[in-house]
Amino acid sequence: MSGRALYPLFADLRGRRCAVVGGGAVATEKARKLAGHGALLRVVAPEVTGELAAILAGEGAEHRARAYRAGDLEGCLLAVTATDRAEVNRAVAGEADARGILVDVVDDPAAGTFIVPSLVRRGELAVAISTGGASPVVAAHLRRRVEAAIGPEWEAVVGALGELRAELKERYPAPAERRAAVERLLSDEALARMAGAGGEGARALAREVLDLGVPA
């Protein structure tokens, strides 16, 4: 990956066909995350783990229970190849390149066109961490530090701001006023209160701090 500028991107995969070539532990992890974000899976592997078999029982999933063949990526938005055979991974990457499909080559990031970052998620808030494939260990270490720094209160804050977005814009039409109101919610005191509120309590607290009043 050295020398390549990778564009950070959050993609909506709902209803999009995505291929995973391989059936082992790494392929299972990749498939789990893709399915968890709404992708329609196509797994190409003679055998799969028990967990992957369960994932493939989901609606719209395909299992081509054989070795990879040219053409297996047809109709896919992106592909992940995670076999233990370098020649297969190269072949998948070659087909993906020919078809204009983004591909993650797990054992050789430089051979692919995208990588999956390490992710910290708090509800709708997502923080992606990547070393460009240079060191997954560093990415994992930084993820743990970010996880420790971003507590559950941030899920409550982002969730409340999303729900109150329209009211906030109506109450504070000027961007500077709106920014100042949100900054109040991000103060240490407000965040500490949000951490223990949760659910309806968090929304009520956000309304109070943002001075939005009681909903009609």
pLDDT in tens, 16-51: 999 999 999 999 999 999 999 999 999 999 999 999
Pair 24, 91 in one domain: yes
Final residue in a domain of this structure, among 94, 116, 138: 116
Q: Is residue 186 part of a domain?
A: yes
As given in the structure block, the two tokens for residue 133 are 């494939």
Cross-strand pairs, 189? none
Per residue in 65-83, pLDDT (tens digit) is 999 999 999 999 999 999 9
Statement to judge: residues 112 and 184 lie in one domain: no
Considering the domain architecture, whether residues 98 and 163 belong to the same structural domain is answered as: no
Structural domain contains residue 133: no
Same domain, 27 and 106: yes
The domain spanning residue 75 has which CATH number? 3.40.50.720
Whether 216 and 179 have beta carbons less than 8 Å apart is answered as: no
Number of domain units in the chain:
2
For residue 99, is it within any domain?
A: yes
pLDDT given for residue 1 in this prediction:
44
pLDDT value, residue 99 = 98
Q: What is the mean pLDDT of the chain?
A: 93
Quote the domain boundaries for residue 198: 153-210
Provide block-wise average pLDDT over 10 residues at a time, the chain (216 residues): 77 97 98 97 98 96 98 98 97 98 94 92 93 87 94 89 93 95 93 80 89 76
Q: Phi and psi for 7 in degrees, rounded to 5?
A: -85, 120
pLDDT of amino acid 101:
98
pTM over 0.85: no
